[in-house]
Amino acid sequence: MERPFRSGSVTRLHQDRSLLRHAPLVMLGAMFIPVMAGLAGTFLPAIGYFPALGGDSLSPGPILDLVRWPGFFKAGALSITTGVGVTLLSLAIVILFTAAWQGTRLFSAAERLLSPLLSVPHAAAAFGVAFLLAPSGWLARVMSPWATGWTTPPDVLIPQDPWGLTMMAGLVAKEVPFLLLMTIAALGQTESIKSRTIAQSLGYGRTWAWMTVVLPRVYEQIRLPVYAVLAYAMSVVDVAIILGPNAPGTLSAQVVSWMSDADLALRYRASAGALAQLGLVGGTLILWRLMELSVGCAARRWAYLGRRMQRDRVLRHAALLGAAAPILAVLIGLASLLVWSFAGFWSYPDVLPLSFTWTTWLRHASDLRDPIMETVRIGAMAVGISLALTIITLEAEQRFNLKLTTRRLGLLYAPLLVPQVAFLVGLQTLALESGLDAGTAAVTVAHIVFVLPYVFLSIAGPYRAWDARYATISAAMGAGTQRTLWKIRLPMLLGPLLVAAAIGFAVSVGQYLPTLLVGAGRVQTLTTEAVALASGGDRRVIGVFALTQTLAAAVPFMAAIALPRFFWRNRRALQHR
């Protein structure tokens, strides 16, 4: 991490230098130690070593047992098809939409919708999609019976179809906003509009011009987020429980159910399954990389042909439809959660309930209190620690000229490329081995692994872009580095800091697996409670919990936007509008 730097002459600085110099290492440690420890805790039982259960010799038994499980190949194949399908579809939508619409008012409108969409937790979005697409869902109700002839809901297996299509739809709806945000961030560094205009002036169609001259530069920068989407979609559990097939389930969902089985011997198989999931993700990432190379090669050859592709109207409208569908699905899904949470009796095929009532909210108000407190406690701690580590690291980088190079930045994404189940299973095993009680603190540590990268990535840009001349002036007026940090820099960066905190908090709110596995079922947040309700299928209560979960993630966002405007109402440039 460290780079050689010229030793300063101010001796006073020496003390914090020694501490601060290691800040980047501490930050990476906070992310990597849990992941590495967890992977070790997964790997050893997978090869037969699990002293607490009497396994003290190495054997291929667990892996053979896993392969002999009748659903293994199907679950593995499902993991690959959903992962690759979701990533391809989301990427295609984002690329086409950006290529066709960047620079238009419509594109800016979509941009403004991104933050709220991103803050919607995966589980809530999945419930919304389920309410929309089910045979008795809103879509079928609106169309029935006049258009479809269905006087009773059709007997089709949706959601939970065996091919995982509903699950893919739910994931695409959440991954499109994420990739779009990453793409927009990358566009800032590529002079995209200028390049595209030049290409257009050479006669290229708008969409094709962008894809030829901008996409290669943009893709370079969004590659890691794309890999993160692939790894996530291959191994997601909460969305799979809500929308995915259950006979058999996806590999990761199956691993989680083995972990909670009464038959402790199944934990060997669970560990082997988690390891297999890691291998599957690794292998698929390599295949994806190979695909990138060959697609790049073919596209280069196609570009040399010099075809102008001017007629892209159909494509442009298809791109718009592709981007609008997931956004609408999430928004209408949330609306259906809202309607259900207030619904009196509501039978098929009525489009709206016969009556509306507060009773569901009143009945569950007291059940919401504890999960809300737990969610806020864990989120606040994870965000606080992540924010502190991030600022210390960035400050160290600045003061000692230690630069995280692009390649090292990749390290930040590394925890996001490891399937969650692969190391979380190991963390639970380690807790069992060591006799330590899993609790809120352990869950917070696991959340930091996922919160920290997002906090760092969202704040690093504005932090580095801060005009250092303010520091020079403040030093000239006699203020030390600490004082400059607290009195000038952080207040000026209030807006970006709050946004980073809000993003981190939303990430924490949405975490299902780290809370479930590390908390051993004893730490109950809004997310674990909401997903646990999935099996009961009581849409009114699900509506209450999923909406509360969405609010928990969204309220900090609103605060992050409102607070700087309030505090800096007399300093326009600091409002970060």
Partner 1 sequence: MMVRPRAVLMGLLLAAAGVLSPVVQSAHAQPAPPSALPTDWAETLRAARGQTVYFHAWAGSTHINAYIAWASRIVEQRYGVRIEHVKLSDTSEAVSRILAERTAGRTTGGAVDLVWINGENFRAMKENNLLHGPWASTLPNWSLLNADEHPELTTDFTIATDGLEVPWSRAQVVFYYDTARLEEPPRNMKAFEAWLRDNPGRFTYPLPPEFLGTTFLKQALYGLTPDPEELLSPATDANYARVTAPLWNFLDRITPLLWRRGRAYPPSGPRQLQLMADGEIDLAISFNPGEASAAISRYELPPTVRTYVMEYGSLANASFLAIPFNASAMEGARVVANFLLSPEAQARKLDPDVWGAETVLDVDMLPEREREAFTRMEPGVATLAPDALGERLPEPHPSWTERLEMEWSARFGVGR
Site of interaction with partner 1 (CB under 8 A): 52-55, 69-71, 135-136, 152-153, 155-157, 160, 162, 246-248, 258, 260-266, 343-348, 355, 357, 359, 363-364, 366-367, 432-433, 435, 437, 520-522, 524, 529, 532-541
**Continuous segment of H or E residues that includes residue 501:** helix 494-510
| Least CB distance to partner 1 at residue 33 (A) | 23
| Least CB distance to partner 1 at residue 227 (A) | 31
How far is residue 108's CA from residue 100's CA, in Å, rounded to a whole number? 13
How far is residue 90's CA from residue 323's CA, in Å, rounded to a whole number? 9
Residue closer to partner 1, measured from CB, 317 or 363: 363
| Least CB distance to partner 1 at residue 233 (A) | 23
| Least CB distance to partner 1 at residue 283 (A) | 24
CA distances from 222 to 205, 290, 297, 457 (A): 24, 16, 19, 13
How far is residue 83's CA from residue 234's CA, in Å, rounded to a whole number? 4
Residue closer to partner 1, measured from CB, 178 or 258: 258
Q: Do 532 and 475 meet the contact criterion of CB atoms below 8 Å apart?
A: no
Residue closer to partner 1, measured from CB, 180 or 242: 242
| Least CB distance to partner 1 at residue 311 (A) | 45
Residue 262 makes CB contacts below 8 A (sequence gap 6+) with: none
| Least CB distance to partner 1 at residue 71 (A) | 5
Residue closer to partner 1, measured from CB, 137 or 496: 137
Residue closer to partner 1, measured from CB, 10 or 247: 247
How far is residue 576's CA from residue 494's CA, in Å, rounded to a whole number? 9
| Least CB distance to partner 1 at residue 375 (A) | 15
Residue closer to partner 1, measured from CB, 359 or 401: 359
CB crowding 476-515: b at 16 or more within 10 Å, else e: eeebebeebbeebbeebbbbbbbbbbbbbbbbbbbbbbbb
Q: Do 241 and 253 meet the contact criterion of CB atoms below 8 Å apart?
A: yes
Residue closer to partner 1, measured from CB, 432 or 546: 432
Residue closer to partner 1, measured from CB, 306 or 344: 344
Residue closer to partner 1, measured from CB, 334 or 520: 520
Residue closer to partner 1, measured from CB, 268 or 400: 268
| Least CB distance to partner 1 at residue 434 (A) | 9
Backbone CA torsion sign across 43, 44, 48, 53: negative
| Least CB distance to partner 1 at residue 432 (A) | 6
| Least CB distance to partner 1 at residue 280 (A) | 19
Residue closer to partner 1, measured from CB, 396 or 516: 516
Residue 82 makes CB contacts below 8 A (sequence gap 6+) with: 164, 167, 168, 171, 233, 234, 244, 250
Q: Do 252 and 270 meet the contact criterion of CB atoms below 8 Å apart?
A: no
How far is residue 230's CA from residue 419's CA, in Å, rounded to a whole number? 10
3 state DSSP class of 356: strand
| Least CB distance to partner 1 at residue 331 (A) | 23
CB crowding 60-88: b at 16 or more within 10 Å, else e: ebbbebbeebeebeebbebbbebbbbbbe
How far is residue 40's CA from residue 430's CA, in Å, rounded to a whole number? 9
3 state DSSP class of 69: coil
Residue 133 makes CB contacts below 8 A (sequence gap 6+) with: 139, 158, 159, 166, 169
Residue closer to partner 1, measured from CB, 16 or 433: 433
Give the dihedral of Cα atoms 103, 109, 112, 117; nearest 10 deg. Answer: -120
Residue closer to partner 1, measured from CB, 133 or 179: 133
Say how far residue 318 (Cα) sits from the centre of its chain. 26
Tokens coding 402: 């230690």
| Least CB distance to partner 1 at residue 371 (A) | 11
| Least CB distance to partner 1 at residue 529 (A) | 8
Beta bridge partners of 49: 56
CA distances from 402 to 67, 376, 486 (A): 47, 34, 21
Cis peptide before 159 (omega within 30 of 0): yes
Q: Do 79 and 277 meet the contact criterion of CB atoms below 8 Å apart?
A: yes
How far is residue 182's CA from residue 224's CA, in Å, rounded to a whole number? 10
